[in-house]
Amino acid sequence: MRARPWNPQRWRSRFFTIWGGQVFSLLGSGLVQFALVWWLTKTTESGSVLTTATIAAVLPGVILGPFIGTLIDRFSRRRVMIIADSAIALSTAVLAVLFTFDVIELWHVYAVILARSVGEAFHFPAMQASTALMVPERHYARVAAINQSLRGLTRIAGPLLGALLLEFLPLHGIIAIDVVTAAIAVIPLLLIAIPNPEPAAGPRPSYMRDLAEGFRFVLSWPGLLGVVIIAALLNFVLAPAGSLLPLLIRTHFGGEAIQFAGVQAAMGIGLVVGGLLMTAWGGFKRRMATALLGIVGIGAAAILLGFTPASFFSLALGATLLMGIMQPIANGSLMAALQASTPPDLQGRLFSLVGSAAGAMMPIGLALAGPLSDRFGANVWFVIGGVAAIALGGLAFFIPSILNLEAQGAELAAAREAANGESDSEGVPAPAKS
């Protein structure tokens, strides 16, 4: 079946058709994630088990990220997403079979989480890099905010639906739903072509030269290096808190699946509210100032959650809601800043490199958080992570290279185009091929 060529004049209908397929995929993934995390929490009540599962989820992006980005920039991003989504569905189907025949072992769950993470390591940067070619630049921040709202909706529906389904379906039945939703996500990609960036004039450089160019571009961007360092430190202290959230609900608040679903839903509502706020507002003129404000807000919410008494669960819901609101403000603004100031043919490499570097410290933090949370309680990590977020976000306001990240990126891109003898263009670049 030949895909329909991309038409920039009809970008809304075609982009949001692909986007709609992702809604189903994210919802299915949310169901599987909720069911597996709660199964691990209830079965083991171990912070070490939860952090090990999270390490399995983040390692592929950290290790493979730099190499994946170069591949994405060299090949059809549409095909990359089709293969990645299909591989994720296949690994999920294997897990469903293991649960069906009651032969599941803990290492099976780790292995499937690892396999799904490899697929996601390809899919996420491919989709983010493609967005810059499908959407006009003036809509980057709003589309990024809409994406955050989408994730919020799935965070609302996924856990609540997951908690409900756990009462009526066996675990393998819930997991099998994700296979169907992944197929729904692939269908629009089969029908609609996604534009690829214009190839550079002359013979195509080798893979290693493309890889080296991505590293040089990132290393020559002082503001981006500062953002990566801050993100790595935040992931070191704050990411473990997120992985320990179900344990906090189970052991500190004495909750069950429905309480965990309520906290997840509160986070999702916050993501929707924050996304709508960013869609209407658009943020400050300096997108990085908006992102840093969001980071400080996330830190304040994490501290509040960490200090919430066990008898005051409603306050925990409020703190989680606030944390959700701040995420689109931070993540959406940063994503829009990078998309607006990075050449389209470099975005696959940039997003993968940044994701890999920012997540490099996360496994270390998780490895420490598991045993220490088993000894001192999960809530201590929320306080530590919150204090770090406020400190790092506040400090970055006084670092000019971070605040001026977009201007620096635009200068680097212009210098690169001049060196390559290419002319500047506005709006959505015309695709060379589909």
pLDDT in tens, 298-328: 999 999 999 999 999 999 999 999 999 999 8
pLDDT reading at 340 higher than 50: yes
Cα three-residue angle 160-328-162, rounded to 5 degrees: 10
SS3 of 4, please? strand
Contact (CB, 8 A) for 428 and 133: yes
Q: Report pLDDT for 128.
A: 75
130-159 CB burial, b ≥16 within 10 A, e <16: bbbbbbeeebbbbbbbbbbbbbbbbbbbbb
Sign of the Cα pseudo-torsion (75, 81, 85, 86, in order): negative
This prediction's pTM: 0.70
Write down the domain spans for the chain.
8-420
Q: How far apart are CA 71 and CA 83, in angstroms?
A: 13
State the pLDDT confidence band at 427, using cuts at 50, 70 and 90.
Answer: very low
More confident: 87 or 22: 87
Contact (CB, 8 A) for 222 and 103: no
DSSP string, 281-312: H---SSHHHHHHHHHHHHHHHHHHHHH--TT-
Contact (CB, 8 A) for 291 and 364: no
Q: Report pLDDT for 106.
A: 92
Q: How far apart are CA 219 and CA 222, in angstroms?
A: 7
State the pLDDT confidence band at 396, using cuts at 50, 70 and 90.
Answer: very high
State the pLDDT confidence band at 129, using cuts at 50, 70 and 90.
Answer: confident
CATH superfamily of 8-420: MFS general substrate transporter like domains (1.20.1250.20)
Give the phi and the psi of residue 213 in degrees, each rounded to 5: -65, -40
Q: How far apart are CA 83 and CA 64, in angstroms?
A: 16
State the pLDDT confidence band at 432, using cuts at 50, 70 and 90.
Answer: very low
Q: What's the mean per-residue pLDDT of the chain?
A: 83
pLDDT reading at 206 higher than 60: yes
